[in-house]
């Protein structure tokens, strides 16, 4: 069964090849999206396969797309999609176009603007990026006097005492 999504404008069901963007958040051993499933010019986010034995994307899609990662070292160590594509000869470690931080800092370009280019952002999750994003959101909310500060609960040590 092909993945489907609902068009927010009119409720129609769209197949991936009709969508401008696809988001994969799955822990699967078999890929759920292949190159033929994605239209020219589409963007694919894949954030679920963060272990070497798990994959969301077929190797032909990894080969077709310009690949961006949260961190090269983490992605090339943990991203099953990329590791499988490397093993199958469809992708090489040096084929990653950029890390998200390199794009945000203006060091490397994101989308090239080439008509029909398929882009793929592969995230395996980096705690430092999550922390920096949380700090950014907290600062912006504080500047605008939004939200509430909730003090952490103190932890009772007897909660984790071994049973006698």
Reported as a single tens digit per residue, the pLDDT across 24-40 is: 887 788 888 899 989 99
Q: For 97, what's the count of Cα atoms within 13 Å in the CB-facing half-sphere?
A: 20
pTM: 0.73
SS3 content of the chain, % helix, strand, coil (to 5): 35, 15, 50
Partners of 121 in the β-ladder: 45, 68
**CATH match of 5-146 with 1.10.10.10:** no
CA angle 33–89–74, rounded 5-degree value: 70
Reported as a single tens digit per residue, the pLDDT across 93-108 is: 999 999 998 998 899 9
């Amino acid at each position: 069964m092909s993945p489907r999504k609902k068009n927010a404008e009119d409720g129609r069901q769209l197949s991936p090849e009709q969508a401008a963007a696809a988001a994969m958040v799955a822990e699967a051993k078999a890929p759920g999206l292949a190159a033929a499933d994605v239209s020219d010019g589409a963007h694919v986010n894949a954030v679920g396969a963060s272990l070497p034995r798990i994959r969301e994307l077929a190797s032909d899609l990894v080969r077709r797309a310009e690949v961006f990662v949260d961190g090269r070292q983490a992605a090339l160590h943990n991203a099953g999609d990329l590791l499988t594509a490397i093993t199958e000869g469809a992708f090489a470690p040096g084929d990653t176009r950029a890390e998200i931080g390199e794009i945000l800092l203006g060091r490397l370009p994101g989308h090239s603007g080439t008509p029909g280019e398929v882009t793929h952002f592969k995230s395996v999750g980096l705690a430092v990026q999550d922390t920096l994003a949380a700090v950014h959101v907290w600062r912006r909310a504080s500047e605008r006097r939004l939200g509430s500060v909730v003090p952490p609960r103190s932890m009772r040590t007897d909660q984790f005492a071994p049973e006698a």
